[in-house]
Amino acid sequence: MNVGIVSYGAYIPRYRIRVEEIAKVWGANANSIIDGLMVFEKSVPDLDEDTITIAVEAARYAINRANINPEKIGAVYTGSESHPYAVKPSSTVIAEAIGATPDLTVADFEFACKAGTAAIQTCMGMVETGMIELGMAIGSDVSQGAPGDALEYTAAAGGVAYIIGKKDQVANIESTYSYTTDTPDFWRREGMPYPEHGGRFTGEPGYFKHVSSAAEGLMKRMGTKPSDYNYAIFHQPNGKFPTRVAKMLGFTSEQIKPGLVVPRLGNTYSGSCMMGLAATLDIAKAGDRIFMTSFGSGAGSDAFSFTVTDRIDEIRNGAPGVETLLANPVYINYATYARHKGKIKL
């Protein structure tokens, strides 16, 4: 394919809450939770941050990193499961904020945790056919987890933006493959403040079936194998799932380590594996191959194969990397966290 990543940008709020702090409030065993989830802390949005503001920061970093004229962006698609408006697109606000309006098309995407990668695929098609010169795909979330629920230990905040085009690529998208079924593993009805999860459906028929099938489907299509890749990234609802599925598929711990950001960040949902890809691009060298597979409850997975170009060195320092964004956190207690997340209803 003659389509690839032209630039990328990430944003992570500085506020964090440790797993021990959440466990203490609910009388849970923090060590058991950490061992089970492989998550130590998670990011928390500031009082004035939501999916849109986080997406704008990531989008601006993507534009600045490669010195891109935003007027050349012909599409902005934002994937999230925590859009602030039930009826009003997030993408119009984002496009206006980055100076891309009015000559473009925008839309909000929803597919649980893989809405961002679905947006990438849509941009790929529009760029490949010549409908647009550049497309921006964003994954951004301020994820919800009910008080005391297992999700509360991982549901985090963050966003990633990718600019897709044909010229000046930092990573060529060699191919993509999707695997989708109707699997009721996770949902949130209109008006419900927190999502529910289908217990036994979450792992085997949900995550592992779809991620492994999409990954195997792409490698079969391309005639590649795990050893052909320098890095691999899988959706990160926690640390255990991507570690396990990588081993199932034949990838090593060394291949997945650079992109495994969830232990320090938590699950940013629509930006989860996209954040892992950004962390990997931050250190990758020209010629490196990267494998990535997302997962969205409901359920589906999108697998991608990338080859990094020598342009990566030219733009790398144009915006903060993921490690820089994870540095210097501000730790808060549960009461402050509850206020930031709007868990206290008046």
pLDDT digits (tens, 9 = 90+) for 202-218: 768 889 999 999 999 99
Is the pTM higher than 0.85? The answer reads yes
Task: Say what percent of the chain tops pLDDT 70.
Answer: 99
Catalytic residue among 81, 123, 174, 197: 81
pLDDT digits (tens, 9 = 90+) for 282-296: 999 999 999 999 999
Query: What tokens does 127 get?
Result: 């760029």
Per-residue confidence at 24, pLDDT binned at 50, 70, 90? Answer: very high
Of 46-60, 67-81, 187-201, 316-330, the one with minimum mean pLDDT is: 187-201
Catalytic residue among 21, 113, 197, 210: 113
Per-residue confidence at 194, pLDDT binned at 50, 70, 90? Answer: confident
Q: Please give the average per-residue pLDDT across 317-338, as a whole number.
A: 97
Q: Please give the average per-residue pLDDT across 148-162, as a whole number.
A: 94
pLDDT digits (tens, 9 = 90+) for 46-88: 999 999 999 999 999 999 999 999 999 999 999 999 999 989 9
Residue 249: predicted pLDDT: 98
Q: CB neighbours (10 Å) of residue 228?
A: 12
* Identity of the residue numbered 229: Y
* 81 catalytically annotated: yes
Per DSSP, which regions of the chain are E strands? 4-11, 15-18, 41-44, 73-79, 105-109, 134-142, 157-165, 171-183, 186-187, 196-197, 231-234, 289-293, 298-308, 330-331
pLDDT digits (tens, 9 = 90+) for 221-251: 999 999 999 999 999 999 999 999 999 999 9
Domains and CATH numbers, the chain: 4-170+313-340 (3.40.47.10), 172-309 (3.40.47.10)
Residue 49: predicted pLDDT: 97
- Residue 326: name the closest of 273, 270, 283, 266 by CA: 266
* 235 catalytically annotated: yes
Per-residue confidence at 199, pLDDT binned at 50, 70, 90? Answer: low
Tell whether the model's pLDDT for residue 276 goes beyond 90. yes
Burial 263-298 (b: 16+ CB within 10 A, else e): bbbbbbbbbbbbbbbbbbbbebeeebbbbbbbbbbb
Residue 200: predicted pLDDT: 64
Q: Which residues pair with 161 in a beta bridge?
A: 9, 138
> Which residues have CB under 8 Å from 111's CB, separation 6+?
79, 118, 296, 298, 300
CA separation for the pair 233, 243 (Å, rounded): 10
Query: Mean pLDDT for the chain?
Result: 95
* 340 catalytically annotated: no
* Identity of the residue numbered 65: R
Q: Which DSSP letter does residue 286 get?
A: T
Judge whether 160 and 56 are in contact, CB under 8 Å.
Answer: no
Catalytic residue among 83, 210, 235, 340: 235
Of 17-26, 35-44, 195-204, 314-323, the one with minimum mean pLDDT is: 195-204
CA separation for the pair 103, 122 (Å, rounded): 18
Q: Which DSSP letter does residue 310 get?
A: T
CA separation for the pair 125, 138 (Å, rounded): 16
Residue 191: predicted pLDDT: 81
